[in-house]
Amino acid sequence: MARRIRLTTWYLRKVASVVSPAARRADAVGRTIRALAAQNDLPGATDYEAEMKPIGRAWVRRISDRNLWLWYRFNDEELTLIAVTTEPLVPIDA
């Protein structure tokens, strides 16, 4: 089941500050987003829940081979992209 992807204003601000459109980082972000949207069981095994101000709690997935972390929330129909950051954060349950 593919989820509809929703981009938040905060995500658009954050991704523009860390990823240029023609860069390999942008390709890696796109691949990760497509994988998340297509995945039936979220969160994934390597995802973790974390908290960041001002967005609050969200799930985080590391973007493969990049120093980037994708923040998201989800339900059965929708994947909401919250932010992309360059620094890992401590999981809530750590």
64-82 per-position pLDDT tens digit? 878 899 999 999 999 999 9
Q: Are 58 and 69 in contact, with CB atoms under 8 Å apart?
A: no
Phi and psi at residue 56, in whole multiples of 5°?
Answer: 85, -150
Q: Render pLDDT for 22-49 as a digit per residue (tens, 0 to 9).
A: 788 889 999 999 999 999 999 999 999 9
Residue 77 belongs to domain with CATH number: 3.30.2310.20
Residue 93 domain-assigned?
A: no
On the question of pLDDT at 94 being above 70, the answer is no
Domain housing 62: 4-85
pTM for the full predicted model: 0.88
Tell me whether residue 94 is in a domain.
no
User: Is position 13 within any domain?
Assistant: yes
Please give the share of the chain, as a percent, with pLDDT higher than 90: 54
What DSSP designation does 69 have?
A: E
Number of structural domains in the chain: 1
Examine residue 49 and state whether it is found in any structural domain, yes or no.
Answer: yes
User: Per the domain annotation, does 91 fall within a domain?
Assistant: no
